[in-house]
């Protein structure tokens, strides 16, 4: 499917060495728009939305920030570590910068852990982008929903 000029530019900025070391697309050879469409379908099948996922990530990040770089329990099931370094990271869609903050969430019951950055939150919230397949930093929507225990919510009607 043909993608817009904005997506072309964003995809160019997701290449290795432009904003991040290994890029944001991993070994994925698909076009950006195809990656987005498939992940959107996956998210809808999981019974939730990009906004709900981003909202939960932000919630855990906010709760974990009180640990000031050290692990802090959140709720009765999560351990969260939030830390960061100097500088800001530009979003490949050229719509803003985010701080370089990493959030590591451990789900004690499932004994699973997930690491995400402020850039992940921004890109999921604004663009529905979870990184390309094969990238070390890819967040599979299924994993995110499971580990962060995101409740399904009724999807808005396809108006």
Q: Where do contacts with another protein occur on this chain (CB under 8 A)?
A: 1-2, 5, 13, 15, 17-22, 65-72, 81-88, 90-92, 94-97, 99-102, 115, 117, 136-137, 159
59-84 burial, b if ≥16 CB within 10 A, otherwise e?
Answer: ebbebbbebeeeebebeeebbbbbee
Please tell me what DSSP assigns to residue 64.
H
Q: How far is the CB of 57 from another protein (least distance, A)?
A: 15
Q: How far is the CB of 138 from another protein (least distance, A)?
A: 11
Q: How far is the CB of 55 from another protein (least distance, A)?
A: 18
Nearer to another protein by Cβ, of 118 and 151: the residue is 118
CB neighbourhood size of 27 (10 A)? 9
Nearer to another protein by Cβ, of 71 and 77: the residue is 71
Please tell me what DSSP assigns to residue 105.
E
Kind of pairing between the strands at 112-117 and 78-90: unpaired
Q: How far is the CB of 21 from another protein (least distance, A)?
A: 4
Q: CA 24 to CA 18: how far, in whole Å?
A: 10
In the chain, what is the greatest distance between 2 CA atoms, to the nearest angstrom?
Answer: 47
CA dihedral 48, 46, 102, 76 (to 10 degrees): 80
Nearer to another protein by Cβ, of 1 and 27: the residue is 1
Q: How far is the CB of 124 from another protein (least distance, A)?
A: 16
Nearer to another protein by Cβ, of 5 and 76: the residue is 5
Nearer to another protein by Cβ, of 24 and 151: the residue is 24
């Amino acid at each position: 499917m043909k993608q817009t000029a904005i997506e072309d530019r964003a995809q160019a900025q997701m290449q290795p060495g432009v904003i991040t070391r290994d890029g944001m697309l991993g070994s994925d050879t698909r076009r950006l728009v195809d990656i987005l469409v498939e992940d959107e379908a996956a998210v809808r099948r999981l019974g939730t939305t990009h906004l709900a996922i981003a909202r939960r990530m932000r919630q855990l990040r906010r709760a974990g920030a009180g640990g000031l770089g050290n692990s802090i329990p959140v709720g009765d099931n999560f351990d969260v570590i939030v830390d960061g370094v100097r500088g800001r990271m530009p979003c490949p869609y050229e719509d803003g910068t985010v701080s370089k903050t990493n959030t590591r969430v451990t789900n004690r019951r499932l004994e699973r852990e997930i690491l995400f950055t402020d850039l992940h939150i921004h890109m999921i919230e604004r663009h529905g982008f979870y990184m390309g397949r094969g990238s070390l930093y890819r967040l599979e929507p299924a994993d995110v929903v499971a580990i962060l225990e995101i409740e399904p919510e009724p999807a808005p009607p396809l108006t």
